[in-house]
């Protein structure tokens, strides 16, 4: 099982990198991408250490090769995002909700992707020295936030329909 998880984590790290690095739309202070949807998909396919690593490393490598000033903040932000996703799906499961529920996944995705939304806004404020400059990227990040959640739900459905994932067998 460990070999399978490491292989899957490596593939998702590469996929997060490719999608984040090469499917970019410029916004003030950075770029819009759909890498978060891939990170969220990884979270429902792999246990937490692997999903966290795939999201953080894949995203940080994308920034290292395109927007290097954001590499360290990205490593932190994109590690925290899946941690929150896993924590929410676990908490909701403990409270009687089943982790394969679409409602649980949408709720966890909606909350966890707030971390990049506010994390990058805050990072922009620090890197560029003032509140207003940091807020310049917020509208683009808000669109990215919504697009990633929609794409995650669509990818989840495609993977389920194609029987590429079995949500009953995933481990938290």
Q: What residues contact residue 159 under an 8 Å CB cut-off, 6+ apart?
A: 41, 45, 165
Q: What residues contact residue 18 under an 8 Å CB cut-off, 6+ apart?
A: none
Nearest-5° angle of CA 126, CA 52, CA 112? 60
Nearest-5° angle of CA 65, CA 144, CA 78? 50
Q: CATH classification of 2-161, choosing from 1.10.287.110, 2.60.40.2580, 1.10.1760.20, 2.50.20.20?
A: 1.10.1760.20
Q: List the pLDDT tens digit at each of the 172 positions of the chain.
A: 688 889 999 999 999 999 999 987 777 666 778 899 999 999 998 888 999 999 999 999 999 998 899 999 999 999 999 999 999 988 766 665 554 588 888 889 999 989 988 898 889 889 888 888 878 878 888 888 888 899 999 999 998 888 777 665 544 4
- Please answer whether residues 8 and 45 qualify as being in contact, where contact means their C-beta atoms are separated by less than 8 angstroms: yes
Global confidence as pTM: 0.86
User: How far apart are the C-alpha atoms of 133 and 168, rounded to whole Å?
Assistant: 45
Domain ranges of the chain: 2-161
- Please answer whether residues 34 and 49 qualify as being in contact, where contact means their C-beta atoms are separated by less than 8 angstroms: no
């Amino acid at each position: 099982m460990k070999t399978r998880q490491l292989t899957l984590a490596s593939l998702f790290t590469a996929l997060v990198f490719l999608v984040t690095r090469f499917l970019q739309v410029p916004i003030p202070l950075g770029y819009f991408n759909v890498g978060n949807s891939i990170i969220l998909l990884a979270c429902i396919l792999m246990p937490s250490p692997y999903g966290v690593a795939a999201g953080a490393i894949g995203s940080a490598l994308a920034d290292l090769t395109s927007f290097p000033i954001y590499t360290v903040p990205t490593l932190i932000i994109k590690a925290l995002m899946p941690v929150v996703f896993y924590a929410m799906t676990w908490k909701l499961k403990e409270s009687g909700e089943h982790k394969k529920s679409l409602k649980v996944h949408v709720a966890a995705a909606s909350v966890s992707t707030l971390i990049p939304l506010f994390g990058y806004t805050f990072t922009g404020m620090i890197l560029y020295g003032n509140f207003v400059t940091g807020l310049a990227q917020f509208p683009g990040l808000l669109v990215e936030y919504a697009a990633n959640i929609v794409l995650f739900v669509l990818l989840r459905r495609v993977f389920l329909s194609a029987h590429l994932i079995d949500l009953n067998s995933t481990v938290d």
